[in-house]
Amino acid sequence: MKAFVIDDRERVDGRPKVYFEERPMPILKNERSVLVKVKAAGICGSDIHIFEGRHGMCIGLKIVPGHEFTGEVVEVGSAVTKFKAGDRVVHEPTSSCGECYACRVGQENVCTNLTVSGCGSDGGWQEYVVYDEKQWHHIPDWVSYVQAALIEPYTIAAQACSRAELFPGDVVLIHGAGPIGLMTGQTAKSFGATVIMSEIMEGRINLAREMGMDYVINPKETNLVKEVMKITNGEGPNVVIDCAGIPNASQQAGEILSPAGRYVVVASGPVHIDGDLVRLKALRVLGSRQQKEQFEPVISKLPIYVKDIDRIISSIYPFEMSKEAFAFASERHPETGKIVVKFD
Contact between 130 and 83 under an 8 Å Cβ cutoff? The reply is: no
Torsion of CA 27, 28, 30, 31, to 10 degrees: -150
* Residue among 108 and 199 whose Cβ is closer to Zn ion: 108
Residues touching Zn ion: how many (CB under 5 A)?
Answer: 6
For the CA atoms of the chain, what is the radius of gyration?
A: 20
* Residue among 103 and 160 whose Cβ is closer to Zn ion: 103
Of residues 79-98, those binding Zn ion (CB under 5 A): 96-97
Report CA-CA distances (Å) from 209 to 113, 146, 184, 197, 226.
Answer: 40, 24, 14, 9, 20
* Residue among 96 and 250 whose Cβ is closer to Zn ion: 96
* Residue among 98 and 270 whose Cβ is closer to Zn ion: 98
Among 46, 262, 85, smallest CA distance to 173 is for 262
Q: Quick check: 172 binds Zn ion (CB under 5 A)?
A: no
As to burial, measured by CB atoms within 10 angstroms (0-12 exposed, 13-18 middle, 19+ buried), residue 6 is: buried
* Residue among 104 and 272 whose Cβ is closer to Zn ion: 104
Residue from 35, 36, 38, 103 binding Zn ion (CB under 5 A): 103
Single-letter code of the amino acid located at 242: D
Residue from 57, 61, 100, 327 binding Zn ion (CB under 5 A): 100
CB of 68 to Zn ion, least distance (A): 5
Contact between 67 and 147 under an 8 Å Cβ cutoff? The reply is: no
Count of beta carbons in the 10 Å neighbourhood of residue 98 = 10
* Residue among 258 and 330 whose Cβ is closer to Zn ion: 330
* Residue among 139 and 339 whose Cβ is closer to Zn ion: 339
Q: Quick check: 119 binds Zn ion (CB under 5 A)?
A: no
Q: Quick check: 44 binds Zn ion (CB under 5 A)?
A: yes
Among 107, 34, 106, 114, smallest CA distance to 77 is for 34
CB of 284 to Zn ion, least distance (A): 24
Q: Quick check: 146 binds Zn ion (CB under 5 A)?
A: no
Per the document, the length of the chain is: 344
Contact between 9 and 62 under an 8 Å Cβ cutoff? The reply is: yes
Of residues 201-260, those binding Zn ion (CB under 5 A): none
Q: Quick check: 198 binds Zn ion (CB under 5 A)?
A: no
Q: Quick check: 111 binds Zn ion (CB under 5 A)?
A: yes
* Residue among 111 and 244 whose Cβ is closer to Zn ion: 111
Of 74-82, 109-117, 194-202, 306-314, the window that binds Zn ion (rule: CB under 5 A) is: 109-117
Strand order in the sheet with 94-95: 94-95, 115-117, 120-121
Q: Quick check: 159 binds Zn ion (CB under 5 A)?
A: no
DSSP 258: P
Q: Quick check: 180 binds Zn ion (CB under 5 A)?
A: no
Contact between 170 and 238 under an 8 Å Cβ cutoff? The reply is: yes
Q: Quick check: 291 binds Zn ion (CB under 5 A)?
A: no
Q: Quick check: 149 binds Zn ion (CB under 5 A)?
A: no
Contact between 125 and 342 under an 8 Å Cβ cutoff? The reply is: no
Of 41-49, 140-148, 294-302, 328-336, the window that binds Zn ion (rule: CB under 5 A) is: 41-49
Residues in contact with Zn ion by CB under 5 A are 44, 96-97, 100, 103, 111
